[in-house]
Amino acid sequence: MTENRSDQIARGRPGEDPGPAPAPPDLRRIGANPDFWYPVALSRSVRKEGVAAAVFAGERIALYRAKSGAVHALEDRCAHRQVPLSMGVVDGETLRCCYHAWAYRGDGRISQIPYLAKGDARPPRGVRAYPVREAYGLVFVFPGDPEKAEATPLPDVPAHASPSYRTMTFSRTVRCHYSFLHENLLDMNHQFLHRGVVGKLQPKLLGYESGPASVEARYLFTHTGGKRNRSASLLAAEGLGGQPSSDVMTIRTEYPYQTLDLVPEKADHPALRLWAVYVPEDAEQRVCHAYGLLMIEKPRIPAALSVAWPFIRHFTERVFAEDRMAVEAEQRAWDEQGEDRNHEVFSLILDVRDVLRANGVPLAPRTTPVTRSCEGLAP
Amino acid sequence: MTENRSDQIARGRPGEDPGPAPAPPDLRRIGANPDFWYPVALSRSVRKEGVAAAVFAGERIALYRAKSGAVHALEDRCAHRQVPLSMGVVDGETLRCCYHAWAYRGDGRISQIPYLAKGDARPPRGVRAYPVREAYGLVFVFPGDPEKAEATPLPDVPAHASPSYRTMTFSRTVRCHYSFLHENLLDMNHQFLHRGVVGKLQPKLLGYESGPASVEARYLFTHTGGKRNRSASLLAAEGLGGQPSSDVMTIRTEYPYQTLDLVPEKADHPALRLWAVYVPEDAEQRVCHAYGLLMIEKPRIPAALSVAWPFIRHFTERVFAEDRMAVEAEQRAWDEQGEDRNHEVFSLILDVRDVLRANGVPLAPRTTPVTRSCEGLAP
Amino acid sequence: MTENRSDQIARGRPGEDPGPAPAPPDLRRIGANPDFWYPVALSRSVRKEGVAAAVFAGERIALYRAKSGAVHALEDRCAHRQVPLSMGVVDGETLRCCYHAWAYRGDGRISQIPYLAKGDARPPRGVRAYPVREAYGLVFVFPGDPEKAEATPLPDVPAHASPSYRTMTFSRTVRCHYSFLHENLLDMNHQFLHRGVVGKLQPKLLGYESGPASVEARYLFTHTGGKRNRSASLLAAEGLGGQPSSDVMTIRTEYPYQTLDLVPEKADHPALRLWAVYVPEDAEQRVCHAYGLLMIEKPRIPAALSVAWPFIRHFTERVFAEDRMAVEAEQRAWDEQGEDRNHEVFSLILDVRDVLRANGVPLAPRTTPVTRSCEGLAP
């Protein structure tokens, strides 16, 4: 467990006198570190010779799939008149702006301006291109320093390719800072929120470990009465054939990704594995896009999973809708209060806050026109 | 009639030279004085073991009715993660936050955190609680200094309990500063606005009196032709059985409340009494919630009132909709002009403006995140 | 062709060294010069004894047609309580405010306050009136210095009254700075945008001329294959009876108006003439209202034009919808980038930008309440 936590004062432990330590920066003003691979679209949403608009932390990105099938990611503006390239048209391996038909290659360079004549001004060279990769049915881009892209591995999601598991993919906009979602999943004491869907669950923290870029918590889940959703039972039991019982849930933030493994009582491997990441959409990072891969172990009778599949999706969507309601309420409170007034008491959550702070990047001050006009008026 | 009016210059009376008096503060930047009892909900909207969200001037309030039937009013945020307590669940006499199930008593103190363990940080003590009372079918809170609550009387609405009157309750959001509504009701020269509903009415000011916290005006209303709405006739006539005639209308702002009494020509007591208050909703007080109790004298044949009731409501709603259209147009003009450019000529309205200024409180400057980011950028 | 262009640097011609010239002002911060006649409504939208709300660059204007048939244009606020006069009622030659029935004459002076009594404050004199004229089915106002109105001619639209032409009128809000529309029409290299509607067109610049307040470009249009819309053929051909062929299109910005003439290959006069102006709606001029008069030569068989009329309108609307999509995307990019990052290469477009800059007026800094509260906070 890390000991150099920066928010000792805020925690207010009796008897402690940490001295005049500076207040840690507001977690909700810490941006996601761009030097990682982040999904920005489902692969299937970028169709052959098709175009899609994506975004990372306010940077608009035009994705297009060339005739060859390769996906490219360009800054989403034509260098000419700033019209989004995601409104454009694929032409072979290039992307043409819809307005005056300027053509761009996958590396962002302009390959043709159809009408340029002698005497016209020198055209710009092109726009930024992002390193891009496809994996797990997702399109990943590397929004940070492109020189680091090659050496930075894609996240490892081993169960995705395993024949023992089947994957359900989630893609949803959530109107909150990504950190609220890390805290939500790691703090299983919020089962009260899901009482209507999963019944009365008694999570017990078995232990946790924190590192410079990770926090991992293990909980024992026991169903203690009340209604229990059938899909929850399906998910919690050994494969899909067992009886409700005590399960061990391991949740891990490994910056910037998050995983959850659920091992049923008598099993030696997970019946359910979740991989998730929360990708900021806007420059202020008050909205994120949650991508999730939920991998469920196939039961002995494979058809059972096909039958259960829509129910599992429905159940998972309901739980996620409740989580979203809570974290979006947290964001609205932050927006109104203008700062993070959370008064956290749970040690491992304090740790994950430190991890997110230490591995993220400070957000630039607002640079919207409103702010700029204020600047202009200041003496 | 008060003589120390602060806007003599603006009134521009010929021959007067008030000297270089400072401009009075903009009335629309004066907040409602919080040291009074204000309704924030209808009693019936806080059901047994139910929760409701309310607000006073930007302060969000969670109302809940405990198992015992008592209504409590808490600051609408959990001390833990700031999620609104109005999303919570009543548990006996306490209110539990929906997220991690922290429980609060009616005095705002935390009574239970279900999972708190040794080694966790010290939790906060609770949240603010508001003095709360129920009367006239309304839930009143005291948003100001709680020590003054006991000594401050609830508004007196004597006809409400009288067997001679029946009460119609109104509750509507109006997108304007509360002062526009005081001016609207007191200045009966605006009958032109209602010409389509009430016909051509000729209001004549009989006289008015102003005090430090009140303005009272008496008008004679004579119907001078044109279409006359049947419900208006019903309301204006003696009880519900008389003939259209000249009525005396007395309108009074007694800070912060407002009343209207209508006495038909040959009657010695009001056939109709209105009590109203305009409760600011947002911190800038550009939106308010109008609560009204309209008490109508029961006619000799009581069934007649029951028959007329929906017509009276319809008529009253139409008149109010026109008033709302006008005062909201005034607020939009203020928003665009950025200041109060009203050029009032009517003496008693100048008086009520002074009363509202003198008894209100200056609004704090905006403290939204937008403003704060401007502050940060100023050198 | 003008040589004193202010954005030589931005054009970056090789070999040029214009020295440390100051950056030209951002074109999108240049307001339309108010000392011209601008349409603000269709004549038919101001019915007899009717009222209409109009706007020029954030100045709200109440139009009313008096009993005599004359249209008047007043500042759209009652001098009393700032309620819009466009909510009012025409009374003979005057306009009464809907709220307290103050009456205004067409010159903006108050002609009656129905209830003013001795002892009341001195009323204001009135509101601003705009010079107003009707022509071509449009209501024009002169928003600038009224003393210049008389000497400033209305725009000349000769074909409107000609028996050889029939006029189609357009009136649409477009969410962009007016300059984007001037650039759009003058740069015919954007035909790629309309490829779905008009097929593959090959515009060739024949030449252009620039003056202090005008730019005029001539293009040769040749249809080079692909689908061709029937209505486009109708429009492009000699009258309505010819064969598709090469047409000469002359487009001219004559500040602040714009015209387009299309002369079919073997004709000696235009088969189609467009007159257009883009009137700013908001104070920041990020939204404009496009008024267009499209005059189409009547064919030898006049009935043919009546049959074709709805198709021509449909075709024109589709083309305009595509243009609007592009120019509104340009405005959104400007809003996000906070400045004009267009990298124009086409010489005549650089010229029209200079014309619009030189003949326009700088926009005042934002004066919304938000900005003002920022000002207040700066030290």
Give chain B's contact residues with A (Cβ, < 8 Å): 77, 79-84, 87, 96, 98-101, 113-117, 119-124, 367-370, 372-374, 376-379
Torsion of CA C251, C254, C255, C260, to 10 degrees: -30
**A238 has pLDDT over 90:** no
Q: Do B100 and A13 touch (CB under 8 A)?
A: no
DSSP letters for C297-361: E--SSHHHHHHHHHHHHHHHHHHHHHHHHHHHHHHHHHHHHSS-------HHHHHHHHHHHHHSE
- Strands lying side by side in the sheet with C201-210: C165-174, C288-297, C272-280, C257-263, C247-254, C214-223, C201-210
For residue B11, the model assigns a pLDDT of 41
Mean predicted confidence (pLDDT) in B106-115: 96
Give the integer Cα–Cα distance in Å for B284 and B269.
40
**A239 has pLDDT over 50:** no
Q: Do C98 and B192 touch (CB under 8 A)?
A: yes
Q: Do B378 and C379 touch (CB under 8 A)?
A: yes
Task: List the one residue out of C5, C16, C15 whose CA is nearest residue C352.
Answer: C5
B286 vs chain A: nearest CA distance in angstroms?
17
Question: CB–CB of C40/C58 below 8 Å?
Answer: no
The confidence band for B227, taking pLDDT boundaries of 50, 70 and 90, is: low
CA A208 to chain centroid, in Å, comes to 22
Q: Do C335 and A369 touch (CB under 8 A)?
A: yes
Instruction: Give partners of B (≥3 CB pairs < 8 A).
Output: A, C
The confidence band for C227, taking pLDDT boundaries of 50, 70 and 90, is: low
Mean predicted confidence (pLDDT) in C71-87: 98
The confidence band for A17, taking pLDDT boundaries of 50, 70 and 90, is: low
- Which residues of chain B does A341 touch, with a Cβ-Cβ cutoff of 8 Å? 82
Nearest CA in chain B to A322: B99
- Tell me the torsion sign for CA atoms C297, C301, C302, C305: negative
Nearest to C82 among B330, B346, B374 (CB): B330
| The residue to which tokens 């493994």 are assigned | A261
Coil/strand/helix, residue A220: strand
The confidence band for B376, taking pLDDT boundaries of 50, 70 and 90, is: very low
Give chain C's contact residues with B (Cβ, < 8 Å): 77, 79-84, 87, 96, 98-101, 113-117, 119-124, 367-370, 372-374, 376-379
Nearest to A83 among C187, C330, C335 (CB): C330
Segment (H or E) for A353 = helix A347-359
> Amino acid letter at A100?
H
Mean predicted confidence (pLDDT) in C30-34: 98
pLDDT tens string C209-220: 999 999 999 999
Question: CB–CB of A288/A176 below 8 Å?
Answer: yes
Give the integer Cα–Cα distance in Å for B358 and B27.
10
pLDDT tens string A310-357: 999 999 999 999 999 999 999 999 999 999 999 999 999 999 999 999
Question: CB–CB of A292/A170 below 8 Å?
Answer: yes
The confidence band for A301, taking pLDDT boundaries of 50, 70 and 90, is: confident
| The residue to which tokens 């203020």 are assigned | B334
- According to DSSP, the residues that pair with A257 across neighbouring strands are A254
pLDDT tens string C339-361: 999 999 999 999 999 999 999 99
B299 vs chain A: nearest CA distance in angstroms?
51
Give the integer Cα–Cα distance in Å for A180 and A47.
33
3-state DSSP percent of chain C in helix, strand and coil, to 5: 30, 30, 40
Task: List the one residue out of A276, A277, A40 whose CA is nearest residue A138.
Answer: A40
For residue C300, the model assigns a pLDDT of 86
A213 vs chain C: nearest CA distance in angstroms?
34
Mean predicted confidence (pLDDT) in B236-258: 75
Q: What are phi and psi of A59, to 5 degrees?
A: -85, 115
Mutating which of B363, B374, B377 best tests the C interface, going by the most C Cβ atoms within 10 A?
B374
pLDDT tens string A184-213: 999 999 999 999 988 888 899 999 999 999
Q: Do B344 and C124 touch (CB under 8 A)?
A: no
Least confident of A369-373, B159-163, C12-16, C318-322: A369-373
Question: CB–CB of C173/C287 below 8 Å?
Answer: yes
Give the integer Cα–Cα distance in Å for B177 and B324.
11
> Amino acid letter at C356?
L
Nearest CA in chain B to C76: B333
Task: List the one residue out of A356, A331, A359, A348 whose CA is nearest residue A179.
Answer: A356
Q: Which two tokens stand for residue C295?
A: 């005059």
For residue C228, the model assigns a pLDDT of 53
Question: CB–CB of C179/C356 below 8 Å?
Answer: yes
Q: Which two tokens stand for residue C280?
A: 């700013």
- Which residues of chain A does C350 touch, with a Cβ-Cβ cutoff of 8 Å? 121
Mean predicted confidence (pLDDT) in B39-60: 98
Q: Do A330 and B81 touch (CB under 8 A)?
A: yes
The confidence band for A47, taking pLDDT boundaries of 50, 70 and 90, is: very high
Task: List the one residue out of C122, C87, C126 whose CA is nearest residue C106.
Answer: C126
**C318 has pLDDT over 50:** yes
pLDDT tens string A355-365: 999 999 999 87
Q: Do A84 and C342 touch (CB under 8 A)?
A: no
- Tell me the torsion sign for CA atoms B296, B297, B298, B300: negative
Nearest to B77 among A14, A325, A333 (CB): A333
- Which residues of chain B does C83 touch, with a Cβ-Cβ cutoff of 8 Å? 326, 329-330, 333
For residue A225, the model assigns a pLDDT of 55
Nearest to C367 among B330, B338, B379 (CB): B338
**B6 has pLDDT over 70:** no
Q: Do C192 and A372 touch (CB under 8 A)?
A: no
Task: List the one residue out of C165, C192, C161, C186 whose CA is nearest residue C354.
Answer: C186
Nearest CA in chain A to B124: A343
**In chain C, what percentage of residues exceed pLDDT 90?**
75
For residue C353, the model assigns a pLDDT of 98
The confidence band for B198, taking pLDDT boundaries of 50, 70 and 90, is: confident
Mean pLDDT over all residues of chain C?
A: 88
- Strands lying side by side in the sheet with A94-96: A89-91, A94-96, A103-104, A110-112
Provide the terminal-to-terminal Cα distance of chain B, rounded to the nearest Å. Answer: 49
Mean predicted confidence (pLDDT) in A288-305: 93
Listed in sequence order, the residues at least 6 apart from B224 whose beta carbon sits closer than 8 Å to its beta carbon are B200, B201, B202
Mutating which of C81, C100, C125, C281 best tests the B interface, going by the most B Cβ atoms within 10 A?
C81
Provide the terminal-to-terminal Cα distance of chain C, rounded to the nearest Å. Answer: 49
- Which residues of chain C does A102 touch, with a Cβ-Cβ cutoff of 8 Å? none
The confidence band for C310, taking pLDDT boundaries of 50, 70 and 90, is: very high
Structure ipTM: 0.87
For residue A227, the model assigns a pLDDT of 52
Nearest CA in chain C to A84: C329
Question: CB–CB of C96/B192 below 8 Å?
Answer: yes
B246-284 exposure pattern, b = at least 16 Cβ within 10 A, e = fewer: ebbbbbbbebbbbbbbbbbbebeebbbbbbbbbbbbebb
> Amino acid letter at C234?
L
Nearest to A119 among C190, C203, C347 (CB): C347
Nearest CA in chain C to A372: C338
Domains of chain A listed by start with CATH number = 38-148 (2.102.10.10), 158-362 (3.90.380.10)
Residue A275: exposure state from Cβ atoms within 10 A (0-12, 13-18, ≥19): buried
Mean predicted confidence (pLDDT) in C365-374: 43
Give the integer Cα–Cα distance in Å for B189 and B202.
8
Give chain A's contact residues with C (Cβ, < 8 Å): 77, 79-84, 87, 96, 98-101, 113-117, 119-124, 367-370, 372-374, 376-379
Q: Do C374 and B379 touch (CB under 8 A)?
A: no
- According to DSSP, the residues that pair with B165 across neighbouring strands are B297
Would you give the DSSP letter of residue B86?
Answer: G
Question: CB–CB of A200/A232 below 8 Å?
Answer: no
For residue C236, the model assigns a pLDDT of 52
The confidence band for C4, taking pLDDT boundaries of 50, 70 and 90, is: very low
Torsion of CA A351, A355, A357, A358, to 10 degrees: 130
Nearest to C330 among A81, A116, A368 (CB): A81
Give chain A's contact residues with B (Cβ, < 8 Å): 11-14, 187, 189-190, 192-193, 203, 205, 325-326, 329-330, 333-335, 337-338, 341-347, 350, 365-366, 370-371, 374-375, 378-379
- Which residues of chain B does A342 touch, with a Cβ-Cβ cutoff of 8 Å? 80-82
A138 vs chain B: nearest CA distance in angstroms?
31
- Which residues of chain B does C96 touch, with a Cβ-Cβ cutoff of 8 Å? 192
B256 vs chain A: nearest CA distance in angstroms?
28
Q: What are phi and psi of C149, to 5 degrees?
A: -60, -50
Q: Which two tokens stand for residue A288?
A: 């994120």
Mutating which of C99, C122, C281, C366 best tests the B interface, going by the most B Cβ atoms within 10 A?
C99
The confidence band for B230, taking pLDDT boundaries of 50, 70 and 90, is: low
A120 CB-side CA count, 13 A: 17
Segment (H or E) for A316 = helix A302-337
Residue A128: exposure state from Cβ atoms within 10 A (0-12, 13-18, ≥19): middle
pLDDT tens string A105-122: 999 999 999 998 887 888
- Which residues of chain B does C59 touch, with a Cβ-Cβ cutoff of 8 Å? none
Q: What are phi and psi of A121, to 5 degrees?
A: -70, 160
For residue A369, the model assigns a pLDDT of 40
Cα–Cα distances in Å, from A70 out to A65, A91, A105? 5, 13, 12
Nearest to B333 among C83, C116, C379 (CB): C83
Q: Do A338 and B369 touch (CB under 8 A)?
A: yes
Q: What are phi and psi of C11, to 5 degrees?
A: -75, -25
Residue C367: exposure state from Cβ atoms within 10 A (0-12, 13-18, ≥19): middle
Does a cis peptide bond (omega within 30 degrees of 0) precede residue A256?
Answer: yes
Mean predicted confidence (pLDDT) in C197-205: 86
The confidence band for C265, taking pLDDT boundaries of 50, 70 and 90, is: confident
For residue C9, the model assigns a pLDDT of 35
DSSP letters for B112-138: E-TT--TTSPPPP-B--EE-EEEETTE
Question: CB–CB of B29/B178 below 8 Å?
Answer: no
Nearest to A100 among C11, C190, C341 (CB): C190
Provide the terminal-to-terminal Cα distance of chain A, rounded to the nearest Å. Answer: 49
3-state DSSP percent of chain B in helix, strand and coil, to 5: 30, 30, 40
